[in-house]
Amino acid sequence: MRKERITLEANNIRPFINQRHIDLVMPEVIDADRKIKKGTGEGASFLGWCHLGSQTSKKVVSGINDVAAEIRQRADVLLCIGIGGSYLGARAGIEFLSPIFPQEHRADEPSVYFCGNNLSADYLHDLLGSIDNGKEIYVNVISKSGTTIEPALSFRVIYDFMKKRYSGKELAKRIICTTDKKKGALKSMASKKDFRTFIIPDNVGGRFSVLAPVGLLPMASAGVDIKELLRGAAAIEADVFKGKAEKNDAYRYAVIRNLLYRSGKHIEILSGFHPSSHYLLEWWKQLFAESEGKNNKGIFPATADFTGDLHSIGQLIQDGRRNIFETFLMIGKSLNKVKIPQLKENMDGLNYLAGKDMDYVDKKAYQGTAKAHAAGGVPNMTIHIPQRSAYYLGQVYYFFEIAVALSGYLLGINPFDQPGVQAYKNNMYRLLKKKG
């Protein structure tokens, strides 16, 4: 039986974009779709993510699950060291699927802490202070090269910390490297120190690696069903590779955002109405910014957590400059119910909501926001996720990855490189007096 898919609703773009506009760019879409499927576009050597959902082997999945089970059994804390795509996807998945206050509900699983994504001394000091109390620790360091300065420096400090706690085979057992198959500083260190390794495929770039061991091991360690995650991704993959380009919701999303960009809407805000989606929004932001922002082109990706942000940037969205469009990320079915009570005094005047579920009010807030923003000149669309589950999360990952690939080709750029990232590094290394 065919399970539901995440879907795109685009009624609130009609005053700005209509079907005729979409039909006019369809030849561009079909050409971009061909480039993805046949691997003939720029950056095609990094299209390996396209089939991770369907082609990740049972052996790889089993190996990840075995190590994750060991971590859950033996560790109080898993430290994940990585930056950008080496940590955002995993963090997004764990926080999307976990209870909001996980340690109050899931004490049988390790706390997953992320580091190596900044250069803050205070962050690293406080992190080590929080675990230097007899907690059992495993480390997963994630880097293709092993020389990116943020995770590399964090790993130096944490490795020194681990050597004071563990030694010999026990130390080696507790450090797991997700890295290149053959080369790089981290691969060399793993081989020399006998650390276990998982492979980042050569044809998968960092921001597209969430469905590779980069994302799968941390998520599995936190109790995520990675088989279901991959199955969800494979469902959207099949829709893309077996279906027609004009019928695909991920492509429709990419087309609409590009048409809005061409009409002068240069900023996209991805807005969620659930606290668990915060890092999913952050993952999206990195994926789209690094994929599209080059050659003086690109839609600026911003995020908002509603309803809270309706009381801050909501004002700007409603009444500010009209260079914005918006995409809402909505979760259909809440996992829990909280009934609003009847109060005899009714001093807040809210008894008219008594008996309703909090999620019902949240959905009405979304509907009211979408309508108000559209009326205020902000075109918007909505991606509907049936519920918070690993299966639908896999769909979300693949939906956005395939959408940004198509969107990049529509923009006329290579969506798979990131030449601008090196600029700050060059200046920083110069200031640090790095030789060469």
- Whether the per-residue pLDDT at 104 is higher than 60: the answer is no
Task: Answer whether 198's CB lies under 8 Å from 66's CB.
Answer: no
Cβ of 3: how many Cβ atoms within 10 Å? 12
Cβ of 353: how many Cβ atoms within 10 Å? 16
For the chain, give the longest Cα–Cα distance: 75
- Whether the per-residue pLDDT at 108 is higher than 80: the answer is no
Share above pLDDT 90 across residues of the chain, in percent, rounded to a whole number: 89
Q: b or e along 171-191 (b: 16 or more beta carbons within 10 Å of the residue's beta carbon)?
A: bebbbbbbbbeeebebbebbe
- Whether the per-residue pLDDT at 105 is higher than 60: the answer is no
- Whether the per-residue pLDDT at 106 is higher than 80: the answer is no
- Whether the per-residue pLDDT at 363 is higher than 90: the answer is yes
User: Quick one: tokens of 213?
Assistant: 């061991």
Task: Answer whether 116's CB lies under 8 Å from 155's CB.
Answer: yes
Cβ of 28: how many Cβ atoms within 10 Å? 15
Average pLDDT of 303-312?
A: 96
Cα 78 to Cα 63: distance, rounded to the nearest angstrom: 17
- Whether the per-residue pLDDT at 49 is higher than 90: the answer is yes
- pLDDT score of 422: 77
Query: Residue 134: pLDDT band by 50, 70, 90 thresholds?
Result: confident
Average pLDDT of 149-173?
A: 96
User: Quick one: tokens of 126?
Assistant: 């406080």
* Terminal alpha carbon distance of the chain: 59
What's the mean pLDDT when you consider all of the chain?
Answer: 95
- pLDDT score of 297: 96
Catalytic site residues? Answer: 290, 311, 425
Domains contained in the chain, CATH given: 7-43+229-411 (3.40.50.10490), 49-225 (3.40.50.10490)
> What pTM value is reported for the model?
0.96
- Whether the per-residue pLDDT at 350 is higher than 90: the answer is yes
Q: For residue 327, which phi and psi values (nearest 5 degrees)?
A: -125, 130
Residues 420-434: tens digit of each pLDDT: 877 888 888 888 888
What distances in angstroms separate CA 173 from CA 71, 80, 146, 162, 168, one per listed residue?
Answer: 10, 15, 19, 11, 9
Average pLDDT of 298-325?
A: 96
User: Quick one: tokens of 188?
Assistant: 């060399």
- pLDDT score of 247: 86
Q: What angle do CA 108, 114, 115 make, to 5 degrees?
A: 145
- Indicate if the alpha-carbon torsion angle 46, 52, 58, 63 is positive or negative: positive
